[in-house]
Amino acid sequence: MNAPLPAWRPPAVAERMAQIESFYAMEIMREATALEQAGRSIIYLCVGEPDFVATAAVMDAADAATRRGDTHYTVALGIEPLRRAIAAFYQTRYGFALPAKRVAVTAGASGALLILFGTLVNPGDEWLMPDPTYPCNRRFVSLFGGTTKLVPCGAAENYQLTPEMVERHWGPNTRGVMLASPSNPTGTTVPAAALRGIHEAVRARGGALVVDEIYHGLTYMRDRSGTFAEEPTALELGDDVFVINSFSKYFSMTGWRLGWLVAPVSHLGHIEKLAQNLFICPSTIAQHAALECFSPASLSIYEERRAQFAARRDYLVPALRELGFRIPNTPQGAFYVYADVSALSDDSFRFCTELLHGAGVAITPGRDFGDVDAHRYVRFTYTIDIAQLQEVVLRIKAFLKK
Ligand SMILES: Cc1ncc(COP(=O)(O)O)c(C=O)c1O
């Protein structure tokens, strides 16, 4: 007979785990779901994904790939036709000639961020990011032993970094700048001239500039003819810029886990090595399906959805202002409104909890996105239709009267 096993003691958790915080948004989500299961009516404005799904053509292409048996591993950087289609999209959308060899297809923007920071970050390196920022960015840097310096960016700066801030905060260990335009949680963009200035400041210091363009295609400025004006891509600034993008937002494919990374040619070999080791390849079925994203039929559906997002923003922002939320700058894109609640509460986390319990409206506290003014801000996500947004406004109005 075998000797009894010694008592099990949980193995030590890696020290780095102390640096990884969970999402407060998920706590609100958990509470909201529990309330809903107990019979309450809850409206969710806390989830950062479109309410739309992939187009029928994309779904058909996924079906066809599955039935053809196109379900084996692919090369790590993605199938050639998709890399070429993404590169061609830069030509049609931005008039920018992008060589397909600079494109790496990844498991969502998250996969791109993991591979990119794994390629760029040494222990002790510092990265500059705006406060507020998308929280996972900091975690990727800390996973590889780096640190993030969050630079407070208020309403006066449209919640985005400026060249002057980058110059002022750059230190001996700073290795790069990461920003998103439009941003999560603010929906604000970095003006082209400021982005150029940031790029020059980073380049002069031998650093790397990473721009997350995941909300491109979801900006709502129109030109004189009424068509949506496109934000320029940061790739136009020079061959040294790293750009992150994804099929999750504009293409409404969050769960398909597909994104891409554009990097300087000098880095593609390293990116490929790491991608092979971490992921082998991005989802094969999703890659074949995504080829259909760039067809004129699919693109016209995305543009129609973009108009719906614009209409939701144009309804929600003034309605929230009327209720007492401070929104100094109308967000230019994404599907977020970052609202200052200091006229209504001195603690935005408590405000979110009370609003959830009192009105059945789930929003995200600023705490997830930064340190400095987080207690004053909440994030609304307008990934529900206007009728539901109207219901949200009625509920908040009644809640505030109590
Ligand atoms: C700014 C930003 N970057 C990256 C991601 C990750 O997206 P993906 O689904 O492509 O991994 C998100 C998701 O919300 C985001 O808001």
Q: What's the token pair of residue 84? A: 């070429």
What is the dihedral sign for C-alpha 268, 269, 275, 280? positive
Ligand 1 centre distance from Cα of residue 345 (Å): 29
- Per-residue pLDDT at 23 exceeds 80: no
Ligand 1 centre distance from Cα of residue 197 (Å): 25
Report the chain's mean pLDDT, rounded to a whole number.
96
Q: Which fold has domain 57-294?
A: Aspartate Aminotransferase; domain 2 (3.40.640)
The CA-atom distances, in angstroms, between 179 and each of 166, 188, 289 are 11, 11, 29
The answer, yes or no, to whether any atom of ligand 1 lies below 6 A from the CB of 184, is yes
- Per-residue pLDDT at 150 exceeds 90: yes
pLDDT at 205: 98
pLDDT at 1: 66
pLDDT at 288: 98
Q: Give the range among 11-25, 62-76, 282-296, 368-382 with minimum mean pLDDT.
A: 11-25
Q: Among candidates 24, 18, 1, which has minimal Cα distance to 371?
A: 24
Alpha-carbon span 273 to 317, nearest angstrom: 45
Strands 126-131 vs 147-152: parallel, antiparallel or unpaired: parallel
Average pLDDT over residues 165-175: 98
Average pLDDT over residues 268-292: 98
Q: Among candidates 308, 306, 302, 339, which has minimal Cα distance to 324?
A: 339
- Per-residue pLDDT at 153 exceeds 90: yes
The CA-atom distances, in angstroms, between 312 and each of 23, 257, 382 are 26, 26, 7
Ligand 1 centre distance from Cα of residue 249 (Å): 8
Q: What's the token pair of residue 253? A: 């494919």
Ligand 1 centre distance from Cα of residue 362 (Å): 20
The total of other beta-carbon atoms located within 10 Å of residue 373's CB is 19
Alpha-carbon span 245 to 109, nearest angstrom: 6
The answer, yes or no, to whether any atom of ligand 1 lies below 6 A from the CB of 364, is no
Domain boundaries, the chain: 17-53+298-401, 57-294
Choose one of 246, 256, 364, 369 to mutate for the ligand 1 pocket test, by most ligand atoms within 8 angstroms of C-beta. 246
pLDDT at 383: 98
Average pLDDT over residues 122-144: 96
Q: What's the token pair of residue 269? A: 């070999």
Residue type at 148 in one-letter notation: T
Choose one of 26, 29, 115, 214 to mutate for the ligand 1 pocket test, by most ligand atoms within 8 angstroms of C-beta. 214
SS3 call for 180: strand
The answer, yes or no, to whether any atom of ligand 1 lies below 6 A from the CB of 109, is yes
Q: Which residues contact 32 (CB under 8 A, 6 or more apart)?
A: 42, 44, 46, 356, 362
The answer, yes or no, to whether any atom of ligand 1 lies below 6 A from the CB of 134, is yes
What DSSP element (H or E) covers 44? strand 43-44
Largest pairwise CA distance in the chain: 84
Average pLDDT over residues 28-49: 95
Strands 43-44 vs 126-131: parallel, antiparallel or unpaired: unpaired
Buried b (16+ CB within 10 A) or exposed e, 19-54: eeeeebbebbbebbeebeeeeeebbbbbbbebbbeb
Alpha-carbon span 306 to 54, nearest angstrom: 14
Q: Which atom of ligand 1 is nearest to the CA of 254?
A: 9
Ligand 1 centre distance from Cα of residue 36 (Å): 26
Tell me the pTM. 0.96
The answer, yes or no, to whether any atom of ligand 1 lies below 6 A from the CB of 110, is yes
pLDDT at 285: 98
17-53+298-401 to CATH, choices 1.20.1300.10, 3.90.1150.10, 3.30.465.10, 3.30.1490.20 = 3.90.1150.10
Average pLDDT over residues 231-258: 98
CA atoms within 13 A on the CB side of 254: 9
Choose one of 134, 141, 160, 253 to mutate for the ligand 1 pocket test, by most ligand atoms within 8 angstroms of C-beta. 134
- Percentage of residues of the chain with pLDDT beyond 90: 93
Q: What is the pLDDT of residues 310-354, one digit of tens each?
A: 999 999 999 999 999 999 999 999 999 999 999 999 999 999 999
Q: Give the range among 23-27, 82-86, 112-116, 306-310 with minimum mean pLDDT.
A: 23-27
For atom 4 of ligand 1, the residue with the nearest CA is 109
- Percentage of residues of the chain with pLDDT beyond 70: 100
Tell me the Cα Rg of the chain. Answer: 22
Q: What's the token pair of residue 197? A: 């200035």
Q: Which atom of ligand 1 is nearest to the CA of 113?
A: 4
pLDDT tier for residue 74 given thresholds of 50, 70 and 90: very high
For atom 14 of ligand 1, the residue with the nearest CA is 48
SS3 call for 338: strand
pLDDT at 89: 98
Ligand 1 centre distance from Cα of residue 333 (Å): 14
